[in-house]
């Protein structure tokens, strides 16, 4: 049986450091807002190249806190619009809705599955305040295009980097020549998730915000702590969202191997790219556009087929597990249907109908990848 993702195997590969680190925290008597969290925040900020990193309870909170902080600072008001790709995990949209803002759904490019900047421009109104690119499947969005648009219309750029820890933008970004150009450092603020299955995953929930904006960072940190910077003094109607000491220490251990793990994901992607009989099977992959390089950390290896469900069953019959990201697009979900259900989003809908994710976690062996390739190539 080839698992889609083997978290037990992944986390075992960090032993004995992982258990040592956990034991140290459990014996320390200090579990929240402590040294391990401060240390991880500093390490992750340095890794991304931003001066600020604030740990949060999860990725949804990280996104939500960014918008709450813009609301509190008066830079965004109720009903203001945020342009966001229609093909994303629902969390991206919920963070906007939860903060009284309005998601405006944008079709992606069918080649990259990331936001189509030309289409985004057609959605701009006097109420547009921000654009929220999602680096879907681990591939960076067209950030130069996003920046040009944001500069022209005075928009904030917020990255949903929940699937792209460590991805590096290849081209220079105008106005940011002296910056390290990793995900998390490509906009005004970025949100990460450390959900166990992400490229950098905790042993439970976790998230973070990275930013260059010191004012935003301070407001976010306060709102995440009940709106308080000084004990029992509350400036905002905050929430409680913290990265705890146990998760932070796990993340420090795992961050040290992130680049290596991402490189291994790219090796597996290359095996798939070079050995799957794409044309014979009329399979498509976003990977075949733009090549395999550091701007893609392959959180997911997507293939697209009009016979997706059959292909998934064929692989399952040969003991190979796959997943679909995602079976139902957000605008067709019960939770959002009333407001968004009537929108025509054919590219988004096609992606959800045709996408299949192949196993690509760093500890997948070449032999297993070979079996997966053979099995796909025998699909008639
Ligand atoms: C995982 C994910 C989130 C949410 O992260 P949680 O930690 O589960 O709250 C948000 N956006 C995208 C694109 C994700 O993949």
All structural domains of the chain: 7-255 (3.40.640.10), 258-377 (3.90.1150.10)
Residue 128 is predicted with a pLDDT of 98
Q: Would the CB of 184 count as within 6 Å of ligand 1?
A: no
Helix orientation angle between 258-275 and 366-377, rounded to the nearest 10 degrees:
30
The answer to whether residue 102 is catalytic is: no
Q: Whose CA is nearest to atom 14 of ligand 1?
A: 162
Name the E strands within 123-226. Answer: 128-131, 156-160, 189-193, 207-211
Each residue's pLDDT tens digit, 216-246 = 999 999 999 999 999 999 999 999 999 999 9
Q: Would the CB of 88 count as within 6 Å of ligand 1?
A: yes
Q: Would the CB of 59 count as within 6 Å of ligand 1?
A: yes
Separation of CA 314 and ligand 1 centre (Å): 29
Quickly list H helices, 73-173: 90-98, 117-122, 143-153
Two tokens at 297?
């950390």
Do 88 and 113 form a contact (C-beta atoms < 8 A)? no
Over the Cα atoms of the chain, what is R_g?
21
- Looking at the CA of residue 198, tell me the nearest atom of ligand 1: 1
Residue 178 is predicted with a pLDDT of 63
Q: Whose CA is nearest to atom 4 of ligand 1?
A: 59
Q: Is 191 helix (H, G, I), strand (E, B) or coil?
A: strand
**135 vs 174: CA distance, rounded Å:** 19
Q: Please pick, among 156, 198, 254, 337, the residue that the annotation labels catalytic.
A: 198
Residues of the chain with pLDDT under 50: none
Peptide bond into 181 cis (omega under 30): no
Q: Whose CA is nearest to atom 6 of ligand 1?
A: 59
pTM: 0.97
Q: How far is CA 10 from CA 15, 79, 304, in A?
A: 10, 43, 27
Longest dimension (CA), the chain: 66
Separation of CA 198 and ligand 1 centre (Å): 9
Q: Give the alpha-carbon dihedral of 175, 288, 346, 321, to 10 degrees.
A: -120
């Amino acid at each position: 049986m080839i698992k889609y993702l083997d978290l037990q195997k992944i986390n075992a590969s960090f032993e004995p450091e992982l258990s040592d680190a956990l034991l140290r925290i459990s014996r320390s008597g200090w579990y929240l807002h402590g040294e391990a969290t401060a240390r991880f925040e500093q390490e992750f900020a340095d890794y991304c190249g931003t001066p600020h990193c604030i740990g949060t309870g999860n990725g949804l909170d990280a996104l939500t806190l960014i918008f709450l902080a813009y609301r509190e600072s008066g830079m965004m008001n109720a009903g203001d619009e945020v342009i966001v790709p229609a093909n994303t995990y629902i969390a991206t949209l919920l963070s906007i809705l939860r903060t009284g803002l309005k998601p405006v759904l944008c079709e992606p490019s069918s080649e990259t599955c990331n936001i189509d900047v030309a289409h985004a421009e057609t959605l701009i109104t006097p109420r547009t305040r921000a654009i929220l690119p999602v680096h879907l499947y681990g591939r960076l969005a067209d950030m130069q295009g996003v920046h040009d648009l944001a500069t022209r219309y005075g928009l904030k750029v917020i990255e949903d980097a929940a699937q792209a820890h460590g991805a590096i933008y290849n081209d220079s970004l105008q106005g940011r020549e002296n910056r390290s150009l990793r995900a998390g450092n490509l906009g005004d603020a970025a949100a990460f998730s450390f959900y166990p299955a992400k490229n950098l995953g905790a042993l439970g929930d976790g998230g973070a915000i990275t930013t260059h904006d010191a004012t935003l960072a301070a407001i976010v940190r306060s709102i995440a702590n009940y709106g308080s910077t000084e004990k029992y003094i509350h400036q905002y109607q905050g929430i409680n969202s913290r990265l705890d000491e146990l998760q932070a220490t796990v993340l420090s251990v795992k961050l040290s191997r992130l680049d290596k793990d991402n490189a291994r994901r790219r090796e597996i992607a290359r095996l798939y790219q070079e050995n799957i009989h794409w044309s014979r099977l009329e399979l498509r992959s976003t990977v075949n556009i733009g090549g395999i390089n550091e701007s893609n950390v392959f959180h997911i290896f997507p293939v697209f087929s009009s016979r997706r469900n059959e292909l998934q069953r064929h692989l399952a019959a040969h003991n190979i597990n796959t997943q679909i990201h995602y079976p139902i697009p957000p605008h067709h979900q019960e939770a959002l249907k009333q407001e968004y259900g009537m929108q025509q989003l054919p590219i988004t809908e096609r992606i959800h109908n045709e996408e299949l994710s192949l196993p690509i976690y760093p500890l997948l062996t070449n032999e297993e990848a070979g079996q997966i390739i053979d099995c796909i190539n025998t699909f008639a």
